[in-house]
């Protein structure tokens, strides 16, 4: 092969490659996903003298599978779907456990939640099962939905596993409109209501161990 022709062909191929790289178009940018969270951050409350407190160890929360991730679950006439373009900033199961911890810190009762790995005496063991965590479109897909949070709480003595209490806490909060921000506010309110009732119940139940 003529070396001059070969060199010319190589130069032509290189030029074509440069031309092609200049013509590449990027894929259209996807719409940004809005990130949201629930679980208010109340100020920690004073719980009084340490001698009056009792420790509560919480086992890992059992969360309804469809709602455990970072997508916001909705139910319309029995059909499940997720809100497009909106996610929880972390999986809902993690945000919920963080909200539980803050609720116990803010509660003025005698119950003190013991963290995993913490060296402290646990008088009670608390098991939580989130049965429902969803926005229900009761009046159709265009109306404001109602957020349903339902949690089963089982409390037992740590010493002998005797059952202390088994109760379901439920809150239904209607969003003020069919917008993501107001739906998230309803999730926040429903979660706070359930956790307020839960912490009061655990504190009252502590009378059996102190």
What confidence category does residue 75 fall into, taking pLDDT thresholds of 50, 70 and 90?
A: very high
Q: Which residue has the higher pLDDT, 73 or 26?
A: 73
Q: Do the domain assignments include residue 23? A: no
Q: Do the domain assignments include residue 39? A: yes
Q: Do the domain assignments include residue 80? A: yes
Structural domains of the chain, count: 1
Q: Do the domain assignments include residue 190? A: yes
pLDDT (tens digit, 9 = 90+) per residue, 143-171? 999 999 999 999 999 988 899 999 999 99
Q: Do the domain assignments include residue 79? A: yes
CATH code where residue 190 lies: 3.40.50.10610
Q: Do the domain assignments include residue 25? A: no
Q: Do the domain assignments include residue 7? A: no
Global confidence as pTM: 0.80
Q: Which domain holds residue 108?
A: 33-208
Q: Do the domain assignments include residue 27? A: no
DSSP per position, the chain: --HHHHHHHHHHHHHHHHHHHHH--PPPPPPPPEEE-----PPP-----GGG-EEEEEPPPEE-GGGSSSEEEEEETTEEEEEEEEEESS-HHHHHHHHHHHHHHH--SSEEEEPTT--S--SEEEEEEEEEEEEE-TT-TTSPPEEEEEEEEEEEETTT--EEEEEEEEEEEE-SSSSHHHHHHHHHHHHHHHHHHHHHHHHHHGGGT-
The rounded mean pLDDT for the chain is 83
């Amino acid at each position: 092969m003529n070396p001059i022709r070969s060199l010319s062909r190589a130069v032509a191929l290189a030029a074509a490659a440069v031309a092609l790289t200049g013509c590449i178009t990027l894929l259209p940018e996807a719409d940004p996903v809005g990130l949201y969270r629930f679980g208010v951050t109340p100020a920690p409350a004073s719980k009084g003298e340490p001698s009056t407190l009792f420790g509560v160890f919480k086992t890992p929360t059992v969360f309804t599978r469809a709602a455990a991730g970072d997508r916001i679950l909705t139910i319309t006439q029995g059909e499940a779907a997720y809100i497009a373009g909106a996610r929880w900033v972390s999986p809902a199961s993690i945000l919920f456990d963080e909200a539980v911890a803050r609720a116990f810190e803010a509660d003025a009762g005698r119950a003190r939640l013991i963290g995993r790995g913490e060296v402290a005496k646990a008088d009670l063991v608390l098991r939580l099962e989130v049965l429902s965590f969803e926005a229900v479109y009761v009046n159709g897909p265009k109306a404001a939905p109602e957020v349903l949070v339902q949690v089963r709480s089982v409390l037992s003595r740590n010493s002998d596993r005797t059952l202390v209490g088994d109760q379901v806490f439920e809150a239904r909060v209607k969003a003020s409109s069919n917008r993501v921000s107001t739906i998230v506010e309803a999730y926040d309110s429903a979660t706070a209501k359930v956790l307020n009732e839960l912490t009061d119940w655990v504190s009252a139940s502590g009378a059996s161990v102190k």
